[in-house]
Structure formats: structure tokens, C-alpha cells
Amino acid sequence: MARQPLVARRAEELLGSSVVATSPVAGGDIATATRLRLSSGQTALMKTLPHAPEGFFEAEAAGLRWLSEVDGGVPLPEVLGAASDCVILAWVEQSAKTPVEAAVTFGHQLATTHRAGADGWGLDQDGFIGRLPLPNRTAGSWAEFYAIRRVLPYLKLARDRGAIEEADAAAVEKVVGRLTDLLPDEAPSRLHGDLWNGNCLWGQDLTIHVIDPAAHGGHREADLAMLHLFGLTHLPRVMAAYDEAHPLADGWEDRLGIHQLFPLLVHACMFGGGYGARAGTLAARYA
């Protein structure tokens, strides 16, 4: 690895440790990722973004730390440093292997994280989902929070951007009006909040590590719905282990589509109308 002086100097300011070498990391579509080799022998990942939105990296670091408080929960990279312009995390060495045993363990760990709970529906600070602001101000129930902090803000933005047809938007609004009847009562769970397969890293330690949270207190079916929307290797085994450790309410599989409306609308806002149409088709099942 060579050494990028500006990146290395910024990392050294935050870490108080010398950076021996740096190298670019491919794959990120928002921040620039750089691998750091530190004089201590540790390897780290540094993410930077010029003119990052206020609180962008601080929210990521806070979410990782909050989720990491749970003993026996999902593994997350340690936060080594964070500032307004970057975050530095312990490196996760990935593997091409995806053993069933790791999926089963992940199911148990995710159940433990969810079961740790939260103080309420939401969080004490707003966050981000991709580049988009993510409102987290608490609400009195999950149905209320999911409507006014998740579905409706991104439905409005999708409309403003021409990313959803009016008929599809109307179908989503009908579901929002029925959320109190459709969603079961549970205590708030400690959610990752953006739990798709791209944020699940199969490590060389044969463990699934999770990254890039949009953490908050919410209904655990929301995390599970996102896993199902975008898929995960051995997902049935993950779910069997999860349900064994933290049994789900009857009908959870039928409700996954309700909790998939939020990520579909986010994707419509970011990537276009195909996702808006999917949200409308899905909503029609519940309207």
C-alpha cells in the first residue's frame, strides 16, 4: 500500500496513531473509502465525504455504538474515530465463504439485538438513510412513527421528484390509514434500520458483521422485512434461528410487505420510479 498524505494526516489527527500506508477501497456509492494500516499493526477503514450533511458521520458512529452496547448481539465494527468529515472503523476482513452456521448464529444475534430494546419509538437524534435525511423524533406508537417518520416523508419526496404515479401513491396512503389495525403491538426493539444484504459482511472469522446502520427504536419486523426485500444467503436459516430465540407474532410473514414500503419509497426517491410502482403494487395488497 502507498500512503495518501492528506487522508493519512486526517486519520492521525483523530486516532493519535501513525498511518503507515493507505489504499482505496471499491464499492461505496456515497462516501470515499480508504483502507489504513496503522503503526500499531491494526487495519482500519476510513470513510470521507466532502461537504457531508451536518451530522452525517456522527450519526453513523452513534448508531454503531448504540447497537454495540448489546452483549451477544450482532457484530459491528468498532468505531475508532468520528468527526464531521469522516468516520474511522476497525477493518472487517471479508470472506467468500457463507456457511450455514454463520447464518444460524446471525439469527440468534439479531434476536438478541432486537430484544435489547429501546427507550421509545425513534431516537434522540435524526439520522440518514443513504444521503437522505432520516427523521427520528419519537412518537407514541409504532404505527404513528412508521407513518409520519418513515412512509409519508418519502412518499412526499417521491411525488415531488416524479418517482411515483398518483394511483400508486394513493394506494400507499390507504395503507397508512390502516396501520393501527394492521400492525401488532410490541415493545420497541433496537433496530439496525438499513438491514439489507449489502450491509451484512461475511467475515473471515465466519461471522456476519453489520455496517452502515440507520439505528432507532422500532418494530423488529421492519429489519426483517428489509432482509427479505433484498435477500440474504441462507435467509430461511437465519429466520428459523431468530424465531427460535425470539418468537415472532403470528402473521409476521404476511406483514413484511407493509414494512417494505419504507425502503421501496426511499429507493424511489434515490433511483427512480420503478421502485415507486413496486411500492404501489405492494400497498394494494393491504389497502
Ordered domains of the chain (ranges, CATH):
5-90 (3.30.200.20), 100-285 (3.90.1200.10)
N-terminal to C-terminal alpha carbon distance within the chain: 55
Q: Which of 168, 194, 212, 223 is catalytic?
A: 194
At residue 30, the pLDDT reads 86
At residue 2, the pLDDT reads 67
Task: Label residues 25-60 b or e (16+ Cβ within 10 Å = b).
Answer: eeeeeebebbebbbeeeeebbbbbbeebeeebbbbb
Amino acid (1-letter code) at residue 21: A
At residue 1, the pLDDT reads 57
Q: Does the annotation mark 119 as catalytic?
A: no
Cell numbers at 54, concatenated: 451536518
Mean pLDDT by 10 residues, the chain (287 residues): 82 94 86 95 95 95 98 98 97 96 98 98 96 96 98 98 98 98 96 97 97 98 97 98 98 98 98 94 95
At residue 4, the pLDDT reads 81
pTM over 0.75: yes
Q: Do the Cβ atoms of 113 and 73 come closer than 8 Å?
A: yes
At residue 26, the pLDDT reads 86
At residue 102, the pLDDT reads 98
At residue 5, the pLDDT reads 85
Closest CA to 90 of 129, 64, 59, 54: 64
- Spatial distance between the Cα atoms of 163 and 176, rounded to a whole number of angstroms: 19
